[in-house]
Chain A
Amino acid sequence: MRARRLGTGMWSALAVVIALAWAFPVYWMLVSSLLPNVRLQSTTPTFFPTGGSVDNYREVITDSGFGRALSISLAVTLLAVAAAIAFAFLGALAVSRFRFRGRLSFVLALLLIQMLPAEGLFIAQYKMMSSVGQLNSVIGLSVLYAAAVIPFTIWMLRGFVAGVPIELEEAAMVDGLSRTQAFLRITFPLLAPGLVAAAVYAFLQAWNEFTVALVVMTEEQSRTLPLWLRGFVQASATRETDWGQVMAASALVAVPVIIFFMIVQGRMSSGLVGGAVKG
């Protein structure tokens, strides 16, 4: 018993060391965001931001449409995630609970879609969105994002759904519940962690996406956060890039994701469990 605890202590120490090392770039980003640009150009690295300030943050937030970009990103991402989860869930049900012709082809198609390089599609995507008047549209972009994550989500969710045996529902129905009731009361709660896991993944994909947003959101006021952030990186051909501001802006972009993560972190682990092992 004693040896065991010592072992655990040692491993725990190692885990903490690894954690600190792994998060170092994040720390560096935060430190840099608190320093003025000139300090960042020194040959001597600054480990502790003594004499730093939140000037960069102030300038970044008040300056250039941060609030607007934040609301656009939130709207697009949440819409995309909601649609993706809803549709993919139904799709996962279909694929794992039923047998029908074309099921195999559909699953294969899902896999192939995920393997498509998306880089070359932006020209056609622009033409398409323009022809239906969906440029600079939150709904339009959400549709594109939802479609981008649905294949992976169906794939992930079908494992979870398959992992909940049909016997449970059937047992409930024998007890007198209708099909729908059985589903909602028994199966669905067991799937919740899986849905949460899929939602987190979809959130991250949509939140950080850049190329499609670049061509589809052409107006300054419909920019998503990644586009807004990009504006800091090469802000001017006649001024130096202010890296302190870039870091502050990046930290701001990362914050909502981290909040989202923290909230669902516990659920996520168990969620990934269920689906993963079965899938």
Chain B
Amino acid sequence: MKKLTGLVAASAVAALALTACSNGSASSAASSNSPADNSKKTITLWLAGGDTPDELRTYLKDTFKAKTGATLAIEEQSWGDLLTKLTTSLPDAENTPDVVELGNTQAPTFTNVGAFSDVSDMYEELGGSKLLPSFVEAGSVDGKRFALPYYFGSRYMFVRKDIWSSAGVATPKTLDEFNAAVSTIATKNPRSIKNFSGFFIGGQDWRNGISWIFANGGDLAKKQDGQWVSTLSDPNSLKGLAQLQAIYKTASKAPADAKDQSPWLYINDSDAITDDKGAVTGKTSLAAATIMAPGWAHWSIGDLKTVDGKATRVWNPKTFGTLVLPGNDGKPAPVFAGGSNIGISATSKNQDLSRELLRIIFSADYQKKLGGAGLGPANSDYVSSLGTDEFAAALVASASNSKLTPAAPGWAAVESAQLMEEFFGKIRDAADLSALATEYDAKITPLLNQK
């Protein structure tokens, strides 16, 4: 009996000591909870789509286990349905994923309703001002940080060098030069292809089109006296829209309702066999000298070849080239950045372990791995890990000045109501751009501020 009491007392003291230790270490931000406590715990990370490669996932799981003793489970969610799943699962404390990746345009919506935990105290530790400012902004409310950047992508132009040179047009150094160049190419049409575009941009392709608004100093919306206001009809925005209208009318033969799907189809050559002289016989699928697409599109651009028994597109640097859209001020034009944010669910019961995961994700090792996989790391210090090929260079350059959609709580509603598509689709044939822009400002502004 005595021994037992002694044992009990000893264990009680030990337990208290351990708790004291782990409490202490949590605040020191250095080491985490002792592995022994956590061996039965599992936290869940939701990744969107297949963008994070398997080896990075394995790295996360292994490192997490080694560091905390707990298990990391990774669930991949499909991009198309992420919104629905986040809406149902995040508020549910019993079943919520602990850490979640979501698109940067979706981040403001969920941040504003309190779906994520406040990580302002970790901000400096995870990278502070070195983290992509526009993404941090998207995940912040009133200066508090909730969802931080995970990776960034960017978009730039892919050009047919052969067509550009046949048309005798030099590489443009400013936005104005670009606008003129693509018009010229469309008019000259060196190969006499029917409906040939100097620059193919779909009428409803607003994600690419907004670059012209941004490049002229305009914006989609801004915060005025605490309320978000749509600014399509601001003078700078209108300047950009006018340039876009000119492009729609002269340089692009894309339909007014075309969106931004599969733009590489228009600058690839047909897979029909050419005759022995190399001349193109019959119809070709080439329809544009220039397209604008996210960086990863380069995998789908090139000559059709058979590699390892599989038909693939192989990039041909003689025919194809990349071009970062230039601004008029010597810097790259601001383009719409792709990418994701990452946050800890506010209802998660594993806040501490989740924070550990964030530390691992924002560690130098992991950031470099992201770059190595072609995903722009959130921390600008490690951007060089993207590599040195022309795609990496274009990605970094175009992303340096990139912008996001407004971090307004109601922006997701604007997108789901397809108002941007509708507005941009009407630009080409609009007689009075200013009136059209004002009309849509009136539709968009009420949606921006969540009721």
A-side interface residues toward B, CB under 8 Å?
36, 38-39, 41-44, 55, 122-123, 126-127, 130, 133, 135, 214-215, 218-220, 227, 230-231, 233-240
A36-B310, A36-B311, A38-B304 known; A218 vs B271 contact (CB < 8 Å): no
The answer to whether B51 and A236 have CB atoms under 8 Å apart is: yes
B-side interface residues toward A, CB under 8 Å?
48-51, 75-76, 78-81, 84-85, 87-89, 92, 94-95, 103, 153, 262, 264-265, 268, 270-272, 283, 285, 294, 296-297, 299-300, 304, 310-313, 338, 340, 374-375
The answer to whether A215 and B80 have CB atoms under 8 Å apart is: no
CA distance A38 to B312 in the complex (A): 6
CB distance from B340 to the nearest CB of A (A): 8
Most interface-central of A44, A215, A218, A238 (chain B CB within 10 A): A238
In this complex, what residue of B is CB-closest to A133?
Answer: B94
CB distance from B371 to the nearest CB of A (A): 13
Query: Which of B50, B88, B272, B340 is within 8 Å of A122, CB to CB?
Result: B88
Question: What are 20 A-B contacts defined by CB distance under 8 Å?
Answer: A36-B312, A38-B312, A41-B285, A42-B271, A42-B272, A43-B285, A44-B270, A44-B283, A126-B88, A127-B88, A130-B92, A215-B88, A218-B75, A218-B95, A219-B75, A234-B80, A235-B49, A236-B50, A236-B51, A240-B262
A residues near B49, Cβ cutoff 8 Å = 234-238
**Chain B at the A interface: SS class:** mixed
CB distance from B295 to the nearest CB of A (A): 8
The answer to whether A235 and B50 have CB atoms under 8 Å apart is: yes
In this complex, what residue of A is CB-closest to B287?
Answer: A43
The answer to whether B153 and A237 have CB atoms under 8 Å apart is: yes
A residues near B95, Cβ cutoff 8 Å = 130, 135, 218
B residues near A215, Cβ cutoff 8 Å = 84-85, 88-89
A123-B88, A237-B49 known; A231 vs B271 contact (CB < 8 Å): no
CA distance A36 to B297 in the complex (A): 17
The answer to whether B75 and A39 have CB atoms under 8 Å apart is: no
CA distance A236 to B153 in the complex (A): 13
CB distance from A65 to the nearest CB of B (A): 10
Most interface-central of A122, A218, A235, A240 (chain B CB within 10 A): A218
CA distance A219 to B46 in the complex (A): 10
CA distance A133 to B340 in the complex (A): 31
5 nearest interchain CB pairs?
A236-B50, A126-B88, A238-B296, A36-B311, A43-B285
A residues near B304, Cβ cutoff 8 Å = 38
The answer to whether A238 and B81 have CB atoms under 8 Å apart is: no
B residues near A220, Cβ cutoff 8 Å = 75-76
CA distance A215 to B95 in the complex (A): 12
CA distance A55 to B271 in the complex (A): 20
The answer to whether A123 and B80 have CB atoms under 8 Å apart is: no
The answer to whether B262 and A41 have CB atoms under 8 Å apart is: yes
Query: Which of B79, B92, B299 is within 8 Å of A237, CB to CB?
Result: B79
